[in-house]
Each structure stands twice: as structure tokens, then as C-alpha cells.
A and B are shown apart, each in its own frame.
Chain A
């Protein structure tokens, strides 16, 4: 279960099933799946290149291609994942696949670290190397939802961030809880020698966040919904650019901003 979405898998061999249970342990649930995916082995390519996922729709059927892996079907009927045996539920494939499935509920995956306190979730967004893991490692007693990828889910109460199993350089210790909460503030990271921040205009927030969404190519409807969700986030949440030095005092600085 990720961000309240429950997906079941059929057809996994016993070794792969054991591996998946160990890899995604905090996210396992006994709840009834919203969607069940049948997994089948596909050919192993000479080069395991994932690339940018692409989706095509035809007469209500979708085909999401993630490198050599193919998710096909209809959400109201059967969905099948055909993937090389070593790649099926590998995070490299499972992450874009999860983002695609979350779009059904208007949710999506964002390249960001998330840290939860009693006041809500602080999001730290940026590409690889921006400092997401560094900030998560400095979080001390605060609860880290993830150091690399979080699920964003707009709902009636507002926009919340949820933990995911797709941790970054911080490793499994950065994805031990399956929890979520309202987003309190969003920071777009810039490394610096000291600390400074500035509020961002909504248009700049959306322009910076959009490239960090795990968005497949080829689906204008999904892009439209993500634009809308990010515009809503930018309008309802304080958003900043944060220049920071990787020192423990960082969190004193962040706590004082919002």
C-alpha cells in the first residue's frame, strides 16, 4: 500500500515473492487491493536501460512501456505486467509504475525528501545531488518519510505527502514507516555556504516542481492533472527556495521559517 493505494500482484515466483516481501516490507498490507496486476516473465534485453516511461491509450486500454517492461490492460478489467525476471518489481520499474497507477486518484510521485513533525510534512524538492538525503540525515529526532521520493495526494482536506519505499542514497532506513500527513511547507534546494531562503511565486513553484514529478511521456490528461495539483499546492502552501550548508544547524534555520 502506497499513499492509500493498495495493489496486489499475482504470478510472482516464490523467490521473487520473498524478495519483494523483504524489499517492500513496511508497505505490505492485508487490505483488499484496489487493483491486481498479473506478472509474467518477458525477454531479458541485452542492455537493461529504463529510459523515460511512455504511455499510450487506445479504446480505454493503456500500454505503459518502462524500458523492457510493459504494463498493459484496463483499470476496470485485467492488468498485466510483462517484465524480464530480474526487473519485474525492481524499484527502477516499480517507481514509475506506481506513479502511473497513482495518477488514477490524482496522486503522483515527486522527487523530494519529506520530514514529518507535529506540524505537518516539510518537503525538500530537487533533482539528484540537490541535498535531499543530506537534509533527511540531519533530521535528528524528526520522522523521515523518505529521502528521495514521496507520494503527493490531493484530497478534500488538502494536499498530503506520503512515504514510499523508493529511498535514495540514505538506504532502507529512510523508508521504514508507511505514513502521510498534510504538507506544511515546500523547499526547493540549493547548496550554499550558509543559510538563506526566499518565498517563491506560484508560477515558479510549479515550474520547479513539474520536472521532479515521475511523469510518463505521452499522456496529456495526466500532465493536466499534475499541473492542476501543483498549482493547488503552490496556492495553498508556503513554498521557498532554500540555500543551505550541510550542518546540523540547518534544522534550527528551517524550523524558524514556517
Chain B
């Protein structure tokens, strides 16, 4: 995932941040993605304005963590979001129902 690239959220993906954690709904496939505080912050920053580099810088600042670890974790997380079709990314893999998507297992909805 190039660090200068921006990865905006898809417009028609409902989400909510509650007490620092996020719930993201994929209404097309009926999945619910619970995101932990770091994941929720990355999701918020996928606004089309922040680059991967900018997101990593902010996370390092806000979560007081090692830059290399954050860069790797954020990259993997963004790859997961792109694979699940929740953010727009070039060369993202085709969404597949069996893919785990972003951190943790998506919960199928009724």
C-alpha cells in the first residue's frame, strides 16, 4: 500500500463510532465489522484527505506507539478494508465473501 496514496471510505457504507470503537456495516453483503479504537481511528481518517503516511503519523502521535509497528499494522488493516470493498483503493483485490476483511471476523447479519 503506497504511503502517498489516499483511501477514502465508500460513500454508501453506514458506520458509527461509539465510545471510541466503530461499527461498520456492509449493506451489500450483510456483514458487520466491529473495529477496535485503533481501527476506528484509521476508519475515521479514511476521509479522502489523509494519505497513508499522514494516517501513520497521526496514529504514532495519538497512540504513542512504535512507527514501524503502526505502519505495518495500518497497512494490513487498510488492505483488509480495501479487500472488503469498504474503502476505495487502486488494485484492491476483488471482494470475496470468505475474506476476513478488517481486523477480526465480520459478523454475518440476518
The answer for the CA separation of A231 and B19 in the assembled complex, in Å, is: 11
B108 at the binding interface (Cβ < 8 Å):
yes
Q: Which residues of A contact B18 (CB under 8 A)?
A: 201-203, 206, 231, 234
Q: Do A52 and B110 form a contact, CB below 8 Å, given A206-B23, A207-B32, A211-B32?
A: yes
Smallest CB separation, A220 vs chain B (Å): 4
| Distance between Cα atoms of A196 and B80 in the complex (Å) | 37
A contact residues around B32 at 8 Å (CB): 207, 210-211
Assembly CA distance A211 to B23 (angstroms): 12
Count of residues in A whose CB is under 8 Å from the partner chain: 24
Residues in A whose Cβ lies below 8 Å from that of B21? 203
In the complex the two chains form, is A220's CB within 8 Å of B107's CB?
A: no
Q: Is B90 an interface residue (CB 8 A)?
A: no
Distance between Cα atoms of A215 and B109 in the complex (Å) = 8
Which of A202, A223, A231, A234 is close to B25, meaning CB atoms less than 8 Å apart?
A223
Q: Is A213 an interface residue (CB 8 A)?
A: yes
What is the distance, in angstroms, from A128's C-beta to the closest C-beta of chain B? 11
Given A211-B109, A231-B18, A234-B18: A217 and B28 within 8 A (CB)? yes
- Residue B93 lies at the interface, judged by CB distance under 8 Å to chain A: no
Of residues 188 through 247 on chain A, the ones whose CB sits less than 8 Å from some CB of chain B are: 201-203, 206-207, 210-215, 217-220, 222-224, 227-228, 231, 234
A111, CB-defined interface residue at 8 Å = yes
B100 at the A interface (CB under 8 A)? no
Smallest Cβ-Cβ distance to B30: which chain A residue: A217
Interface magnitude class on chain B: 20 to 34
Q: Are A210 and B19 in contact (CB under 8 A)?
A: no
Chain B, residue nearest A212 (CB): B110
In the docked arrangement, what's the CA distance between A217 and B97, Å? 14
Chain B residues closer than 8 Å to A213, beta-carbon distance:
109-110
Task: Tell which of A52, A202, A211, A222 touches B19, judged by Cβ atoms closer than 8 Å.
Answer: A202
Find B109's partner among A210, A218, A219, A220 (CB 8 Å cutoff): A210
Cα(A220)–Cα(B15), bound, Å: 10
What is the bound-complex CA distance between A125 and B109, given in angstroms? Answer: 14
> Which B residues are in CB contact (< 8 Å) with A202?
18-19
**CA gap between A52 and B82 in the complex, in Å:** 25
Q: Evaluate whether A227 and B23 lie within 8 angstroms (CB atoms) in the complex, with A213-B109, A220-B13, A234-B18 already known.
A: yes
Q: Nearest-CB distance from B27 to chain A (Å)?
A: 4
- Report which A residues bind B (CB closer than 8 A): 52, 111, 201-203, 206-207, 210-215, 217-220, 222-224, 227-228, 231, 234
Contacts from B to A (Cβ < 8 Å): 12-16, 18-19, 21, 23, 25, 27-30, 32, 34, 107-110
5 A-B interface contacts by CB (under 8 A): A203-B34, A211-B107, A212-B110, A214-B110, A223-B14
* Given A202-B18, A203-B23, A206-B16, 6 more pairs with CB closer than 8 A: A52-B110, A207-B32, A207-B107, A211-B110, A218-B28, A220-B14
